[in-house]
Structure formats: structure tokens, C-alpha cells
């Protein structure tokens, strides 16, 4: 169960707010740099200084939060404070970060209502709420002791309600409904999909998840294994043919809300390897259970498409999920096999564990010829090399076009999901040349594999504006932090939606 969000005008009387006050609630007061507690809180709590003193919150540190069981005039069981920093620096992204940190402090056993009095403007109030919900909402789990997704064996607890004070509750609700709730729902969907085990989230099950977007007005179709062969998407078919769960290309078409849009659609392509054994080039057993998350790119695209459909974006957007299970069997693709992609390029598969670029290549070539898009962006948990290069804080951005890079960087800045542009090898680079085919799918030991993977994909994007996002380092968090829960984070959903938001504007 996800927490419920409510916005209340800051002028609301203490008596009216008292209707919500109860022992399972917490008041969290915003503290600004230099000026201290927000004005509304000073009026509402006559002895506010005494209440705040034990919490030791200085306003200059945005996001620092403390919550404790303290007697207070509102008769709530908990009282807390959060630093807001300097007013001019309180952007939407900062407000979201503060929301995540307040959620960390308020996920306490026995606490079901959280009231935040931080004098937010409507947009920052909605951004704060998104951050709070994303950090407070637990991951998908299957413990037999749990009655719903908010139950934890270790006693951790998620409040049921968040109440945010703002200068205009009606406008804050509009920001929430039309922008931040869709992004929140899309991110939570991507997180849950990555957490589900491969025996649950098969290629067919991922198609079923995508089909739920029909309720929002999207058209969802899928090419099964037979249709993949007929359409000559042989690379995608080759990756999945060793599994008892056949591969498929799932197509989500959001038609937009304008009848006469002169622009070609934007296409997002997601790598959807529901489990990756490495194929015959099998991975080591240690850590292979984490390969259930190798469909993180498809999860991101599906989450972004949900956000775009929920907010009724006027731009036509198409999401392609290239879905397969990379398994080991007698019918699996072998190292040295030569397979022809749907654009006619022959590929020598020298390593079956470099499968993600194969499914993306076919999907990109298919998108280019089928939809003539104005822009293609593929998203994938693709290489360990990008993790070694950028760590866990930036996703790798590869594109041959400076204008495309600028658009993606602007979307990254707007969404708070950072990218770092990395060099793209020349199309004439000899590293991927094969002696027996047009290309080979990887070239170990020369330059970082993230670059070779991007260079391989560039052959299938051709002249269409295109970007490749390698999210291998940012898709999951290694541990709980004040900003994220351990596990999938849904990275890229808000970024892709922000890219379309910029187009809509």
C-alpha cells in the first residue's frame, strides 16, 4: 500500500488541523538558514523554540532532519524539524531531496500521519511529496509473514498519510496530479519490476504488465518469437531462443493528445533481459541471482510510458521493450554463430554474455524503419565498464549529436537524475570488425566495453538522432541511505518524462 498525499493551505487554523492530530502523527517543522523556523509554524506553536532545541537542527543544512517523541501543543505523538537551507536555493530538486530525508526520519513504528509545515510553494510542495513517497514506499517483497507491502519482518514501518502545508493547496494538488504523481507511479512501477524474480517476471508477464497501460489510452502490441523471425529481428530471437520462455518485442504506443502533430514520434527502447545467465558464455555463479534485474532498461521505459500516459502528454511517444531470457540449453546461441539483424547487418556473436546490445540493436533498427522517429533513446543495464568509470551516481550518456546530448543533459538536470557524456568510438573503429561478418558484438581488451557497446549500437541507429543511456551503475542502490532504499531505484523514469515534458512545453 502506497502512502496517501494531502495538501493543506498554510493559513488553515490550528483547530481545523487538530482534526488530524493524533498519537500516531508527527509534526515536522521547516527551519530556514538565518531566519529559523518558518513563520506559520512560529504562529502555530507559541513555544516552538523549546520544542526545537532538543532536535538541534540548523537551517543551513538542507534536508537534515530529526524526529522524536516530544510533548507538543498539537497533541501528536512525535515532533520533528528539517533544515531547508537558503530560500533562494530551495529548487524543486532540492525539495525532492528534502522529502526523501524526511521520509527516512519518519518511517518509524507506530507513526501513520506525517504533517510537514515548511512554507513550501505549490511546485516545491509537490516535489517534496514525490521525494517523500519514493523513499517511504517499500519495495516489492514476498515474505510469507507480510500481509501487505508495508509490513516488514524487521519492524520498519511506512506512514499511511503525508500532509504538506503550502501557500496554495489547490495549485499544489494540480502539480501533484499532472506531473509528480505520474512520475512517482512510473518510478515505483520500474522499481517493483526490477525486484521481481525471474520465475515471476517472465517475458510473458512483462507483456502483461505493459498491457495495463491500455487503460490509460496507450496501444500495446507484441511480436512473439514467430513474428520476430518473420520481421527478421534475428538478433533478439537469437538471444532468447535458448529459453523455455520465448522472446518478444513489446510495443507501447502513446498516440498523444493532438490530432495534427507535425513531428515524428520519440522512441524509447529498453533492454528487457528478464534473466541473464550469460548464455553459453556463462557467468560465474557468485551474484548471478542479481541478474533478475537485467531488465532494468525495459522497466525504466515502461515506467516512463506510464508517467507519459498518466499526464496525457500531447507528444506521440513509442516505447519498445526488447525482452528475452538469456538461458543455457541445446538450442541456445553459440559463440561464433553469425546472425543477420533486421536491417541486414550480419553479426558474429563472439560472446553470448554481450546479449543486451544485440536485442537493442534489432529494436533500434526496427524503430528507425517502422516509425521514422525524430529521436531514439535506448536505456540499458549494459556494462560493468560504465560502473567502473562513473560509479553509482551518474549514468553514461553516448550520442554522436551535440544537440541530442544537450537535450538529454537538460532533462537530467530538470529531473535530478544525472548523466555524464562519454566518448563514442568512430563508426570506422576497427575493434568491432569481424573477419567473417559485418560486425562482431564485442571486442574485449582494447578500450572500455561501454564504449564498444555504444559504438556497436550506433551502427543500427544510423543517421537518426539517437542516444544510449547505460544505467548499470545507477539502476540499483547497494545499501539504504537517507535518499534511497537498498535495491532498485527506478533511475531514468523521471529523466525520460522530463525529456518529453520539455517537448510538450
- Angle, in degrees to the nearest 10, between helices 92-106 and 122-136: 40
Reduced to 3 states (helix: H, G, I; strand: E, B; else coil), residue 186 is helix
C-alpha–C-alpha distance, residues 62 and 126, integer Å: 17
Cell 523514469 identifies what position?
493
- Angle, in degrees to the nearest 10, between helices 181-195 and 296-310: 150
Which one is catalytic: 64, 191, 357, 494? 357
For residue 340, the tally of other CB atoms under 10 A from its CB is 15
Q: Is the dihedral of CA 108, 112, 115, 121 positive or negative?
A: positive
Nearest to 386 by CA among 435, 422, 440, 347: 422
**β-strand pairing of 375-380 with 346-349:** unpaired
C-alpha–C-alpha distance, residues 103 and 100, integer Å: 5
Hey, which residues does 82 pair with through a beta bridge? 30, 65
Tell me if 106 sits within 8 A of 115, measured CB to CB: no
E strand or H helix that includes residue 325: strand 317-326
Which one is catalytic: 283, 340, 392, 503? 283
The cell numbers describing 102, all together, are: 524526511
Nearest to 370 by CA among 320, 404, 309, 323: 320
The arrangement of strands across the sheet holding 346-349 comes to 337-340, 346-349, 439-440
The cell numbers describing 450, all together, are: 561501454
Decide if 486 is catalytic: no
Decide if 283 is catalytic: yes
Dihedral, 325, 334, 344, 253 alpha carbons, nearest 10: 0
Q: Interior CA angle at 501 toward 500 and 504, to 5°?
A: 85
Cell 497501460 identifies what position?
213
Task: Give φ, ψ of 382 to 5 degrees.
Answer: -100, -50
C-alpha–C-alpha distance, residues 210 and 274, integer Å: 14
Hey, which residues does 324 pair with through a beta bridge? 273
By annotation, the residues acting in catalysis are 283, 357
Amino acid at each position: 500500500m502506497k502512502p496517501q498525499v494531502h495538501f493543506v493551505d498554510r493559513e488553515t487554523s490550528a483547530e481545523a488541523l487538530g482534526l488530524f492530530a493524533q498519537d500516531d502523527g508527527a509534526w515536522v517543522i521547516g527551519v530556514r538558514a538565518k531566519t529559523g523556523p518558518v513563520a506559520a509554524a512560529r504562529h502555530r506553536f507559541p513555544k516552538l523554540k523549546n520544542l526545537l532545541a532538543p532536535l538541534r537542527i540548523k537551517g543551513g543544512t538542507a534536508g537534515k532532519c530529526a524526529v522524536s517523541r516530544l510533548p507538543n501543543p498539537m497533541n501528536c505523538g512525535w515532533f520533528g524539524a528539517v533544515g531547508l537551507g537558503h530560500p533562494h536555493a530551495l529548487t524543486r530538486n532540492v525539495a525532492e531531496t528534502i522529502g526523501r530525508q524526511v521520509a527516512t526520519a519518519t518511517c518509524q513504528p507506530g507513526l501513520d500521519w506525517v504533517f510537514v509545515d515548511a512554507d513550501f510553494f505549490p511546485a516545491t510542495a509537490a516535489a517534496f511529496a514525490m521525494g517523500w513517497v519514493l523513499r517511504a514506499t517499500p519495495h516489492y517483497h514476498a515474505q510469507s509473514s507480510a500481509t501487505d507491502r508495508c509490513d516488514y519482518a524487521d519492524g520498519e514501518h511506512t506512514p499511511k498519510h503525508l500532509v504538506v502545508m503550502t501557500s496554495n493547496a489547490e495549485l499544489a494538488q494540480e502539480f501533484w496530479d499532472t506531473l509528480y504523481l505520474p512520475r512517482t507511479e512510473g518510478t515505483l512501477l520500474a522499481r517493483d519490476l526490477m525486484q521481481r524474480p525471474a520465475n515471476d517476471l517472465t517475458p510473458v508477464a512483462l507483456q502483461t504488465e505493459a498491457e495495463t497501460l491500455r487503460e490509460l489510452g496507450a496501444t500495446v502490441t507484441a511480436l512473439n518469437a514467430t513474428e520476430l523471425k518473420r520481421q527478421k529481428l534475428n538478433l533478439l530471437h537469437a538471444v532468447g531462443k535458448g529459453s523455455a520462455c520465448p522472446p518478444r518485442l513489446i510495443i507501447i504506443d502513446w498516440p498523444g493528445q493532438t490530432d495534427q502533430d507535425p513531428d515524428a514520434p520519440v522512441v524509447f527502447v529498453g533492454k528487457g533481459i528478464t534473466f541473464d545467465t550469460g548464455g553459453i558464455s556463462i557467468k560465474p555463479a557468485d551474484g548471478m541471482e542479481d541478474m533478475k534485474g537485467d531488465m532494468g532498461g525495459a522497466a525504466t521505459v515502461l515506467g516512463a510510458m506510464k508517467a507519459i500516459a498518466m499526464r496525457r502528454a500531447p507528444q506521440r511517444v513509442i516505447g519498445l521493450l526488447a525482452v528475452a531470457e538469456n538461458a543455457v540449453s541445446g538450442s541456445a546461441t553459440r559463440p561464433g554463430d553469425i546472425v543477420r539483424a533486421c536491417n541486414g547487418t550480419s553479426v558474429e556473436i563472439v560472446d553470448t554474455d554481450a546479449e543486451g546490445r544485440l536485442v537493442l540493436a534489432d529494436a533500434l533498427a526496427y524503430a528507425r524503419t517502422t516509425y521514422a522517429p525524430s529521436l531514439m533513446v535506448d536505456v540499458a543495464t549494459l556494462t560493468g565498464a560504465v560502473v567502473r568509470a562513473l560509479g553509482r551516481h551518474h549514468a553514461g550518456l553516448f550520442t554522436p549529436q551535440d544537440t541530442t546530448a544537450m537535450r538529454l543533459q537538460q532533462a537530467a538536470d530538470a529531473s535530478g537524475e544525472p548523466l555524464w557524456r562519454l566518448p563514442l568510438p568512430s563508426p570506422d573503429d576497427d575493434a568491432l570488425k569481424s573477419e567473417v561478418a559485418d560486425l562482431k558484438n564485442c571486442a574485449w581488451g582494447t578500450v572500455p566495453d561501454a564504449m564498444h557497446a555504444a559504438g556497436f549500437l550506433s551502427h543500427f541507429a544510423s543517421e537518426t538522432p539517437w542516444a544510449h543511456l547505460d544505467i548499470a551503475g545507477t539502476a540499483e542502490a547497494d545499501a539504504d541511505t537517507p535518499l534511497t532504499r537498498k535495491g532498485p531505484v527506478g533511475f531514468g523514469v523521471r529523466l525520460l518524462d522530463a525529456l518529453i515534458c520539455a517537448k510538450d512545453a
